[in-house]
Amino acid sequence: MHSSPTLSRYIGRQFVLWFCLLMVILLSIVLLLDIIELLRRAGTKPHVTFGLVVEMAFLKLPGIGQQIFPFVILFAGMFTFWRLTRSAELVVARAVGVSAWQFLMPVLLAAAAIGVVKVTLINPVGAVFIAKYDQLQDRYLKMKSSSMNISRGGLWLRQKNDAEQLFIHADVVNPVNFELTNVIVFLFDEEQNYRGRLDAAGANLKDRRWVLRDVVISRPKKDPEKQESYTITTELDPATIEESFAAPETISFWDLPRFIQTLESTGFPAVRHRLHYQSLLSQPFLYLAMVLFAAAFSLRMPRKGGTMTMVTGGVLTGFVLFVMTDIVRTFGMSETIPVFAAAWSPAGVSLLLGTAILLHLEDG
């Protein structure tokens, strides 16, 4: 027997209601804790008002909310199946021939839809909020004028123009107008043969062009040549360079592919951004795995102590998943394992494990 559309809509609606309720409760708790923490940090800064603290807490909320999505999916699934089992609704459905996979389908579809909405809509909006929160935190709590960080060795850039590759180095970078000081540009051809260098007192980035001033051009077997200015075209702009030092969570899902391509073509490390992008793509599948785990914990509870067993199993599952994801992500960041494997392993392993558990528990 096939599950009726009415039953499917009923089960899916129960899951979505539990998801929304749990999300509101958890976000409220997180918001309260964030306000308390921000008030503690702002205690020695009289210029930080309570209104600003509340604003920062709300701006930070989307970032934390996105992190707890898998756990909300897990517990919403468990409470949905637990309630339907306690009220004997699933017992009746099974008695008339509806299998576990059939009444799981609406919840799986709802979880996948939530994952798609989260990645394509909530993530871009959340990225704007997170970027604004980072700016306020740097300005009022960390007392920093810019969030850009340059290593002690200065700034290094790489780019390719026509048949030439350029490596640009600057000792000092002004983060306000992005003016470079003590600039050296090494020139190579496509086969990495040295073609010369440019030494400049400074450089500015204007309209996707590096404008070097007081330039000395050195070519092999030629005398140095001095010029007042020298122009190099580039794909970069100040916003791109500034964002490259920011967390990938502050960049929209839709902008990440183009941004990663720009970073890699100009020599910036893009591992964090590629890992974040692949992790976003894998999240709908991770949510499917959370539903399978929820079904495994709540569909066949013992009559006594069932609620405690369900909650304990859910908490342990969430903890193990969090630890596994963090460890695998660390390996991916260090490129010990491929970025694709680091991003997709938690979702893939969880999905296979959840399916195997249900196949073991169910007759089909």
Query: What is the pTM for the complete model shown?
Result: 0.75
Q: What is the pLDDT of residue 34?
A: 94
Where a domain ends, among 189, 211, 245? 245
Across 77-87, average pLDDT = 86
161 and 139 share one domain: no
Q: What is the pLDDT of residue 364?
A: 46
135 and 42 share one domain: yes
Q: State the DSSP string of 257-320.
A: HHHHHHHHHTT---HHHHHHHHHHHHHHHHHHHHHHHHHHHHTT--SSSHHHHHHHHHHHHHHH
Indicate whether 154 pLDDT > 90. no
Assess if residue 149 is contained within a domain. no
20 and 136 share one domain: yes
166 and 127 share one domain: no
Assess if residue 79 is contained within a domain. yes
Q: State the DSSP string of 195-256.
A: EEEEEEEEEEE-SSEEEEEEEEEE-TTS--EEEEEEEEE-S--HHHHHHHTS-GGGS-TTTH
Assess if residue 264 is contained within a domain. no
- The number of domains in the chain is 2
22 and 123 share one domain: yes
Where a domain ends, among 245, 278, 302? 245
Assess if residue 296 is contained within a domain. yes
112 and 46 share one domain: yes
Indicate whether 208 pLDDT > 70. yes
Where a domain ends, among 210, 245, 280? 245
176 and 75 share one domain: no
**pLDDT confidence tier of residue 56, bands split at 50, 70 and 90:** very high
Across 352-363, average pLDDT = 80
Q: What is the pLDDT of residue 341?
A: 92
**pLDDT confidence tier of residue 286, bands split at 50, 70 and 90:** very high
31 and 169 share one domain: no
234 and 139 share one domain: no
127 and 165 share one domain: no
Q: Phi, psi at residue 353, to the nearest 5°?
A: -65, -45
Assess if residue 260 is contained within a domain. no
Assess if residue 123 is contained within a domain. yes
pLDDT one-digit tens code per residue, 161-190: 777 888 888 887 776 667 888 899 988 887
Domain that holds residue 288: 5-143+270-361
340 and 240 share one domain: no
Which residues is 205 bridged to in the sheet?
210
Assess if residue 255 is contained within a domain. no
220 and 274 share one domain: no
- The residue with greater pLDDT, 301 or 293, is 293
Angle between helices 69-86 and 306-333 (to 10 degrees): 160
Q: What is the pLDDT of residue 240?
A: 65
Assess if residue 263 is contained within a domain. no
